[in-house]
Structure 1
Amino acid sequence: MIKGEALHLAFGILGNATGLFLFLSPTVTFKRIVIKKSTEQFSGLPYVMTLLNCLLGAWYGLPFITRNNYLVCAIYVAGAIIESIYVLIFLIYSPKKERAKIVGLLASILVLFSGVALVSIFGFHKEEQRQFFCGSAATIFSVIMYASPLSVMVSNVSGSSLGAMQLILYAIYSENKGDIKKPNLNGSMEMGLSNAHQLQK
């Protein structure tokens, strides 16, 4: 029993260390944002979604939701603090349009988290039900968190597709333009030759 608890603690600490490195990994990006005082082409969506995931994870680790999950609660509280700093920096240096978008998204996730918390407290009276509900919510939004950077890829793919279409259309236009010019050149040459013959006569 003691050995099992020791392994549980050891893997919990290892998981927390890994999670902390994950949350700190965007530090280089935000250092660049602060130095340049611009968010450039970076998206704030992944950081807002990670904040929601951390809030739900911290809530799931609380004693009245699940027992003996202090390490889970601790790492997600730390993650929520770190992500809040990222979002704050992004709001300071982002353009007005992007800032309004992130503020709206931030308000939405806070409302969503509050809804999950209230439902888990007042809607479920058994501990197992609260665990399942909060765990399911945390799992779903964890998947959304890891998928959120794909939103940037979608815009890049659409931009690449439009660029490829422009190249294809330009190639078709250039080819057709060349075909149109060739008869005109031949015609002008023939007219020039006929005029030369007339002058010789």
Structure 2
Amino acid sequence: MERLVFLVGVIGNIISLLMFLSPGRTFVRIVKKKSTEEFESFPYICTLLSSSLWTYYGLTKPDSFLVATVNGFGVGVEIIYISLFLIFAPPPTRVKTGIVFGIMNVGFVGAAVGMTYLMLGGEVRIDAIGLMCSALNIIMYASPLSAMKRVVRAKSVEYMPFLLSFFLFLNGGHID
């Protein structure tokens, strides 16, 4: 049974890796054109938030090495994506992205880690972090919908990240 649990975890990690890497073509396009065009940063900010908290959960909960490593990888990849987005975004978008990034990925993550670390211990801490992660996954899985306004307005799916949406869908079905 333990072997099966590990195998399911490895399959989940493969799906998660594909999810983290799926926007790669989008960012190659952004770098080549030196413009974010009409792409949204929100899906990457939300994924970074979720990955950061899942990494903390994986480091806190015993025997959660797979959760910590794959999400730690995701943190690194999402930081690269957001950095590229900030480099190539027009100034108003850069400011908006920076503010949302600061609130969600510095403020919220810092508060969540600080509060759970200082105020809770043992299983209660692990449960609280897991509950936060699960609740925030709803935002992460819905974040590609932020591109829907643009898709509807332009009557084109050009700015809808299909691979990201697809792998978020698959990722939502695996068990951590």
Counterpart for residue 13 of structure 1: 10
- The 5 A counterparts of 1:42-81 are 42-62=39-59, 65-81=60-76
CA deviation profile, 1:133-158 (whole Å, cap 9, x unmatched) = 10111111111011122122135546
The aligned residue for residue 101 of structure 2 is 106
Which residue in 2 is equivalent to 1:168? Answer: none
Deviations 1:109-160 (A, max 9, x none): 11100111011111112x2211221011111111101112212213554677
Q: Residue 122 in 1 paired to residue 141 in 2?
A: no
Distance in 2 (alpha carbons) for counterparts of 1:41 and 1:155: 8
Unaligned 5+ runs, structure 1: 161-201
Q: Distance in 1 between matches of 2:150 and 2:29?
A: 22
Matched, 1:151 2:146: yes
CA pair 155-36 structure 1, distance change in 2 beyond 3 A: closer
Q: Which has the larger radius of gyration?
A: 1
Shift of 1:76: 0.2
Per-residue CA deviations over 1:175-196 (Å, capped at 9, x if unaligned) read xxxxxxxxxxxxxxxxxxxxxx
AA aligned to 1:73 is A
Spell out, residue by residue over 1:92-111, the C-alpha distance to the aligned partner (whole angstroms, 9 max, x if none): 10000000011101111111
| Pairs aligned (count) | 154
| Structure 2 residue ranges without an equivalent (≥5) | 156-176
Aligned match for 1:96, one of 66, 91, 108: 91
* % same residue: 36
- RMSD between superposed Cα atoms in Å: 1.5
User: Which one of the candidate residues 73, 82, 101 is aligned to 2:77?
Assistant: 82
Deviation, 1:66, is 1.0
Query: What TM-score does the superposition give when structure 1 sets the normalisation length?
Result: 0.73
TM-score, normalised by the number of residues in structure 2? 0.83
